[in-house]
Structure 1
Amino acid sequence: MSSLHSPALWDVRRLPRADGKNVLVTGGNAGIGYFVAEQLAGTGATVILAGRDTAKAQAAQVSIRARVPGAHVRHIRLDLADLSSLQASADALRPQRLDAVVCNAGVLLDQPPRRETRDGNELMFATNHLGHFALISLLTPLLMATPGSRVVTTGSFTAKSESLDLDDLQSTRDYRPKRTYARSKLAQMLFGFELDRRLRAAGSTTLSVIIHPGGALDSLTPSRPPVRVRTRGERLRGLPAGLLLQGKEAAAWPAVRAVLDPSVRGGQLWGPRVFGIRGLPALEPVQGHLADTVLAARLWTASAGLTGLDPSTNLT
């Protein structure tokens, strides 16, 4: 069987049970992250929603429990743009076992001006990449102590056509929001691949898997009150786009498979089957910048310098 085909049958509507497992989903209170959390809660797993907004997290819990009776779901506060706050977020998980972390949260700015965090880092790069890099650094001991645990890093298909400028990671020159976003997602994906290489070198059973959700629109996404309600007008306007794209419920499938499927291996890239933008989750080739091990290692060193943390220190 080709390595680019799913190694096993997978039914997105009949997921395997995951009772007793704990999964942290960053940004699990809205968008794709919400549907990742809802689908995982349906397997019996305990799902921890990690996000800044307590009210939104409470709304997400109400919605999940309405659809999944008896769901085990809770919230911890997490602000990926504030590096100094991450230790408290990590501490809120202990001493529980941690079977998976889905690095899903992200920010996309549509227009200038360029914005910085309190640490002086460009906001999208800081939130999407550096915050997750630092969070995984802090959670590595817990992940390493849980046999077969997984780190699932959410990239973007837009990152595949982008390149990373190691001399301008903060986009201080020629700032273009969409390009900066794509570069931040490329950095996330490179981190995921490099993490798996280092986990393998350390002999760890923890896996690092990289996914991307394809193209997802709110107009194609089913309502989940009180999180979000799709109007009839939105649904009708979105019908033509449904020929090419999908809703956020379907966009969650690659991440859910990466968490649950026993046939998934570290260092793999999963995305939607149809042209990488919609459909059932399937394996994709790792090529181009994503396969650049030198670039990934240099990014790792730069990220450790910017965050003051390094997952490698806890891998032995």
Structure 2
Amino acid sequence: MPSTAPPEASTGPWDVHRLPRADGKTFLVTGGNAGIGYFVAEQLAGTGATVVLGSRDAGRADAAVASIRSRVPDARVRHIRLDLADLSSLEASADSLRLERLDAVVHNAGVKYDQPTRRETGDGHEAMFGINHLGHFALTHWLAPLLAAAPEGRVVTTGSFAATSERLDLDDLESTRDYRPDRTYGRSKLAQMLFGFELDRRLRAAGSRVRSVVTHPGGALDSLTPSRPPIHVRGTGERLRGLPAGVLVQGKDAAAWTAVRAVLDPAITGGQLWTPRLFGLRGTPRRQPVRGPLADTEAAARLWSASRDLTGVEPESGLG
């Protein structure tokens, strides 16, 4: 089971502005061309590691790479094409990494639709569940040999605060009967987080060195996020309007801190949950107990079986 030890147990001081070096390591960040994923990639690039951005849009990925290189001297950063909505393409994406080992993958990419019309991927899956959960579930399978080849490979799954108030409907995982955009999004992120915990249980049972860690970024607003032209440009008016919200939430640069720590901190072990310190919404990373729907091992096991049937792959295969 995921650990329920008190927050911060067995961890030392951590400075989000003075990250440890990671020279020689390679990290993949899905959705690393924009939003929180961009800042995860930028911060990891500052450690000396090689950072690979997974993105559907080559133009946006090129712009993100250029932005990181303009801010991080000698950054080792590149991108690959990654479309989580197309399950049949993920094996080729993993092959395109051209690596002998992968030290960590950050499952960050995600979509949230507000329109009342239910969307589907080209594979016929509800889009938020298909991209946020099933795509990362299948990608983990294809990355398994590379992660297992690393001394201590890590799978870092980025959930959401929205997941903590939801429960899965295991008889309607793809919201065919009950599609409400906010609920469907929250459930897709809950599925991701349950996957991360279930993956760790299976890795431990197999005696694998790979660790699976779950995080969520808290609340993040563009108006509190520093400019990174052309990725994100924040005007003075937008910045001033966002200041009151800074009491409760934060910018996307700070929202990246939990995933970055989950990748780099040697004291972090599998099955842990890391969130922002203040009410789970803002602040430096803090370990939290795994409770409520996140601790439902039966639901996680049933979700795993359903996801395997829907994707045709088994993520822990090759991670032993």
Fold match (TM-score > 0.5): yes
> Following TM superposition, by how much is the alpha carbon of 1:315 offset from its aligned partner in structure 2, in angstroms?
3.4
Matched, 1:4 2:16: no
Question: With structure 1 as the length reference, what TM-score do the two structures score?
Answer: 0.98
- The residue that corresponds to 2:151 in the other structure is 147
Counterpart Cα distance in 1 of 2:130 and 2:310: 9
> Following TM superposition, by how much is the alpha carbon of 1:112 offset from its aligned partner in structure 2, in angstroms?
1.5
Q: Which of 298, 303, 309 is the equivalent residue of 1:299? A: 303
Matched, 1:89 2:93: yes
- Alignment-mate amino acid for residue 111 of structure 1: Q
> Following TM superposition, by how much is the alpha carbon of 1:95 offset from its aligned partner in structure 2, in angstroms?
3.2
Q: Which of 264, 271, 275 is the equivalent residue of 1:271? A: 275
> Following TM superposition, by how much is the alpha carbon of 1:97 offset from its aligned partner in structure 2, in angstroms?
1.4
- The residue that corresponds to 1:163 in the other structure is 167
Superposition pairs for residues 76-225 of structure 1, below 5 Å? 76-225=80-229
Question: With structure 2 as the length reference, what TM-score do the two structures score?
Answer: 0.97
Moved over 6 A (4+): none
Counterpart Cα distance in 2 of 1:264 and 1:183: 26
- Alignment-mate amino acid for residue 211 of structure 1: T
Say if 1:62 and 1:226, in contact at 8 Å, map to a contact too.
no
Q: Which of 36, 39, 57 is the equivalent residue of 1:35? A: 39
Counterpart Cα distance in 1 of 2:147 and 2:123: 27
Unaligned runs of 5+ in 1: none
Counterpart Cα distance in 2 of 1:16 and 1:238: 31
Say if 1:25 and 1:50, in contact at 8 Å, map to a contact too.
yes
Q: Secondary structure at the match of 2:212?
A: strand
Aligned residues: 315
Say if 1:141 and 1:314, in contact at 8 Å, map to a contact too.
yes
Matched, 1:311 2:315: yes
Say if 2:147 and 2:319, in contact at 8 Å, map to a contact too.
no
Counterpart Cα distance in 1 of 2:317 and 2:105: 19
- Alignment-mate amino acid for residue 200 of structure 2: D
- Alignment-mate amino acid for residue 147 of structure 1: P
Q: Secondary structure at the match of 1:311?
A: coil
Q: Secondary structure at the match of 1:50?
A: strand
Counterpart Cα distance in 2 of 1:128 and 1:33: 14
Deviations 1:38-81 (A, max 9, x none): 00000001000001000110110111001101100000000000
Unaligned runs of 5+ in 2: none
Deviations 1:153-205 (A, max 9, x none): 00001101100001000101121001000000000000000000011111111
Say if 2:144 and 2:317, in contact at 8 Å, map to a contact too.
no
Deviations 1:125-180 (A, max 9, x none): 00000000000011111111111010000000110110000100010112100100
Matched, 1:58 2:57: no
Matched, 1:72 2:92: no
Say if 1:100 and 1:259, in contact at 8 Å, map to a contact too.
yes
Q: Which of 278, 293, 296 is the equivalent residue of 1:289? A: 293
Q: Secondary structure at the match of 1:169?
A: coil
Q: Secondary structure at the match of 1:89?
A: helix
> Following TM superposition, by how much is the alpha carbon of 1:313 offset from its aligned partner in structure 2, in angstroms?
2.7
Counterpart Cα distance in 2 of 1:15 and 1:245: 23
- Alignment-mate amino acid for residue 127 of structure 2: L
Question: What RMSD, in angstroms, separates the aligned Cα atoms of the two structures?
Answer: 0.9
Matched, 1:233 2:237: yes
Deviations 1:188-246 (A, max 9, x none): 00000000001111111110000000000000000001211101111010011011110
